[in-house]
Chain A
Amino acid sequence: MKSECCVCHREAHAGSTLTLSPEEKKAIEKTDGKKAPDTLFYCKPCYRILSDKERGAQFLRGMMETGLHQAGVVGAETKASKFHRDLLSKVAKVAK
């Protein structure tokens, strides 16, 4: 059965399904303002990118910077850079 990838929104057979914890669901609901799903499906290419520390962080930075630019936020790249640095330091802490 094909499922829709939550990142690229393409339908795929193979991929990874992650079950969200109650805390994660709560955080998503707080941001999106709608009920969070129980699981998230990632197609193989997207999962490979997001599970890579460097590329995954770069992708999230890109999502943020693109969104800020589209919203016309001044200093979007500075804000996105700070977010990227924080993300990398969090990853480094978790790795320790």
Chain B
Amino acid sequence: MMPRRLPILADRSVQEAQANRLQGAHEYEAKVSAEGRISCTSGCASCCHYPLAVSILEGISLYQWLVDHYLWTPRLKAKLVEVKEQTLGLSSEVWLLAMIPCPLLTAELLCSAYESRPFMCRTIFSKGDPFYCHPHRLAAQRSGILDRTDAVAALWSAERKTLKRHQLQQVTIPLAAALLLSERIVKGELELEETNAILIAEAQSEK
């Protein structure tokens, strides 16, 4: 059975935002690579334990990719519910120290959605000693994680326009919460335009 699709305008916005993210990430990676050697390696996964929040458009895009690749399983959904419970309203410092792994990280320390991973995961690079990228050692300030403020700001600026089209504010929520909400939107239980209040409530929840 074909998975349900979004209404055409919402679908176009999701695709437009994804295209912007991919382009932004490619440009950033090319710039960083040209400036010197990156020390990140497959299987390190330190940054897969960092706090991660995404916009609803990014959540929908990732959800659709997981469905299309038959990875949206009851097992993954149960994991997302568990991680959502753990991370909702949690301060980033506590999240980091508690080392909550990304729900998409496999036991082999690989990303199960690598091809469709969020922008923040695509643009995190270190040029320092990966030992110091570990969440418990970040405070030592020797990790060499590159500053990507400009790349993130450029992306948000582009995404703001797309969100505005759907009367949505620019709010990011933890990945697990975003994926679960995306499922409801794509299944037609919620209109994209109706999610503003939910997003704001989830972003500020239980503080």
Contact = CB atoms under 8 A, between A and B. Distances in A.
Interface of A: 7-8, 10-12, 14, 43-46, 48-49, 52, 55-56, 58-59, 61-63, 65-66, 69-70, 76-77, 80
Interface in B123-169: 134-140
Interface of B: 85-91, 93-94, 96-100, 134-140, 206-207
A44 B86 CA distance: 10
Contacts of A55: 86, 98-100
Nearest to A9: B91
B135 A46 contact: no
Given A55-B98, A55-B99, 20 more contacts: A8-B93, A10-B207, A12-B206, A12-B207, A14-B206, A43-B89, A43-B207, A44-B89, A44-B206, A45-B94, A45-B207, A48-B85, A48-B90, A49-B94, A49-B98, A52-B86, A65-B137, A66-B136, A69-B139, A69-B140
Contacts of A48: 85-86, 90
Count chain A CB atoms within 10 A of each CB in B85, B93, B98, B206 and give the residue with the most: B98
A11 B207 CA distance: 7
Given A8-B91, A49-B90, A63-B97, A77 B140 contact: no
Nearest to B138: A66
Contacts of A69: 136-137, 139-140
Given A49-B94, A49-B98, A62 B136 contact: yes
A29 to B, nearest CB: 24
Contacts of B136: 61-62, 65-66, 69, 77, 80
Given A48-B86, A55-B86, A66 B207 contact: no
A51 B123 CA distance: 34
Contacts of B207: 10-12, 43, 45
B97 A62 contact: yes
A67 B189 CA distance: 47
A10 B139 contact: no
A29 B152 CA distance: 45
B137 A59 contact: no
A55 B99 CA distance: 7
Nearest to B97: A62
A59 B28 CA distance: 33
Most A Cβ at <10 Å: residue of B89, B99, B135: B89
A77 B140 CA distance: 12
Nearest to B91: A8
Most buried by B among A55, A62, A65, A66: A62
Most buried by A among B87, B93, B97, B99: B97
25 contacts: A8-B90, A10-B91, A10-B207, A12-B206, A43-B89, A43-B206, A44-B89, A45-B88, A45-B89, A49-B90, A55-B99, A55-B100, A56-B98, A58-B97, A58-B99, A62-B97, A62-B98, A63-B97, A66-B136, A66-B138, A69-B136, A69-B140, A77-B134, A77-B136, A80-B136
